[in-house]
Amino acid sequence: MTKRKIESTDLFRLTSITDPQWDKHSRKFAFVQTTVHEEENEYRSTIYVGDLEGNAVPFTSGKGRATSPRWSPDGSKLAFVSNRNEKSQLYVMPVNGGEAEQVTFCKNGARGPVWSPCGTKLLFSTSVESAEDLHSTSSKSEEKKKPEPLVVEKMRYKSDAKGFLDNKNDHLALLDLKTKEVSLLTEGDRDYGSAAWSPDGTKIAFVANLEENPDVSLVSDVYVMDVQSKEKKKITHSNGFFSTISFSPDGQYLGFLGHEKEFQSATLTRVWVTQVATGETHCLTENLDVEVGDVAIGDFHSGNVNPGLMWTDESEGFYFLMSDQGATGIYFGSLDGSMYPIHLPDEHVYAVSMLTDTHEAIVGVSNSTDPGELYHLDFRSQTRTQLTKVNEAWKNEVELSVAEPIRYKAPDGWDLHGWIMKPAGFEEGKKYPTILEVHGGPHAMYANTYFHEFQTLTAQGFVVLFTNPRGSHGYGQEFVDAVRGDYGGKDYLDVMAAMDYALETFDFIDEKNLGITGGSYGGFMTNWVVSHTDRFKAAVTQRSISNWLSFYGVSDIGYYFSEWEVKGDMGEKVDKLWDHSPIKYVSDVNTPLLILHGEKDYRCPVEQAEQLFIALKQQGKTTKLVRFPGANHELSRSGDPALRIHRLDHIKSWFVEYLEGAK
């Protein structure tokens, strides 16, 4: 049977499986299955419950999204979040049949359910302006509100995820399932999150920035609160970013992930453990030169959950996710500081739920030719069993290109890593146009995972080359920090070295038909490349940075990111910001450049695209600007489905127009 070539609209045929949650009593697991409804142009998420024999049945039904399934301690119920009644609220439903009961009615919705150890209460997060917001799902007045000005007094007044910030804050609340009483555990003009419950039910842990001026003191501290008295004890020292908290089963230890900003935003995330009784805190992975957690870049799954430390029953060890050399896998660590890899495939382990007493896991795994399925891993017998086949029929229907790893050297001798994908219908002896992809971050990692954009381009007859230049995670602390203050320096040479290596190594690349594209930092690098070399015949820059001077004041992170990453500021180091701005060199751009940008991107605001477009047009350069209404920085990953297709089609069409040899 001849397989067909992938199209951008195959996005509507794919199924995403995320957030597996295993119940130790029944040995069943819940997970979230997300699809895109093409006609109504919306995402739909359903919670399924499956068993180790490969059976899985829907637990929820209807339109909208049901997410965050969490088993009650006795395994009899599932709490979950659903927007079936417009706003996302918490629901509880018996596992063995019955109706779902809506248990929160918060004005601004509810999320993140965490069961109390006794199973009679739910800890959750909600956005509130006052305690009244816990009980009212509608506004006080249904009348059309008159416009009001936005009064800004803080530097952090907008967010790419939330838009302009108002007087609401993210707080933790407690629901008594017997009395239905709801109460706030936190209050004030601060945000609280990453909640965890102590095994005896007397304490909760969370993260917050409670510094006097959080605009300037950019930290996220760990706190432990007594549920009855609401007295708080600070665990960390206002010098870093911490999150993803979990208590050990015996309640003696508190584990969390984070770092103390030694290299600002380029610092490796590490494992920390606090002895609850004494407050004594240690970093247990200080000598482990890998990034803890999953930092793989992809464009398919959204809603992945980092489980943090998954403790063994005896509270002496724990499992955790890590990222290394373009792969993500599972490590095991112990309180004595010993750490070792337990599952390190050349794949992307993007989700995990452990039964630590039997050393088993349910994992979500993806690779370059598989969008992702769930598997059962038994670490004792070293066996792996596939549990779902939601994308099997689609995979059998289409021609998929395998990402083949490459290793090469930078001009200064540093070891570099990447992948190359041959075009669909590849024939020996033929030469093909090639597109070099640059990831965002820059502190992220291309990985052994499915990338719909890459498959769409290979289906069009392009070779796709993608690599991890310095600044990427997965290759140690020195490597990830090396880009700071040097944007467009050795990272640029790394990107060009990838192209040089590919041309020297693979005779199927047409050196006269090369393209380059990337988003965010990858968009910056695309802009930088075309303003410093003419070797590429076409380029597409996405949600990019073109001017660090204006970025400083308009991005939701600009006022500190520019100082941390570019090492310039609006005082004595203004020239540093300008020297690293691609728009400074716009007169040297001769490559046809397509500019893609979301209208509501507050991370890299659309003015970055507008400046670049006008500067190029004014100088008679070949360019086009495509603006995506309502889209933020996450357009390619979780944005409006129809706009995601438009984005892919614009990228493809631009390269087809300017690179010869595409199909």
Asked whether the beta carbons of 241 and 219 are under 8 A apart, the reply is yes
- Which residue shows structure tokens 């709490």? 79
- Rounded to a whole number of angstroms, the CA Rg of the chain reads 25
User: Which of the following is catalytic: 443, 452, 473, 633?
Assistant: 633
- Please state the three-class secondary structure of 222-255 as a single string: EEEEECCCCCEEECCCCCCEEEEEEECCCCCEEE
Coil vs helix vs strand at 15 = coil
For 486, counting Cβ atoms within 10 Å of its Cβ (0-12 exposed, 13-18 middle, 19+ buried), the class is middle
Asked whether the beta carbons of 358 and 312 are under 8 A apart, the reply is no
Alpha-carbon gap, residue 377 to 308, rounded angstroms? 18
Determine the longest span between alpha carbons in the chain, in angstroms. Answer: 75
Classify 261 in phi/psi space as left (phi over 0), alpha (psi -120 to 50) or beta.
left
- β-partners of residue 415 are 409
Give yes or no for a cis peptide into 442 (omega within 30° of 0): yes
Coil vs helix vs strand at 178 = coil
Element of type H or E holding 510? strand 509-519
User: Which of the following is catalytic: 68, 520, 546, 555?
Assistant: 520
Per the annotation, the verdict on 633 as an active-site residue is yes
Alpha-carbon gap, residue 444 to 297, rounded angstroms? 7
Tokens describing residue 616: 């190029």
DSSP at 163: E
Asked whether the beta carbons of 645 and 9 are under 8 A apart, the reply is yes
Q: Strands (DSSP E) along 356-431, which ranges?
A: 360-367, 370-378, 383-386, 398-399, 403-409, 415-421
Alpha-carbon gap, residue 89 to 12, rounded angstroms? 27
DSSP at 14: -
Per the annotation, the verdict on 61 as an active-site residue is no
Tokens describing residue 8: 């951008």
Q: Which residues contact 424 (CB under 8 A, 6 or more apart)?
A: 5, 6, 399, 401, 458, 459, 461
CA dihedral over 577, 580, 584, 586, signed as positive or negative: negative
Alpha-carbon gap, residue 172 to 490, rounded angstroms? 45
Catalytic positions, written as ranges: 520, 633
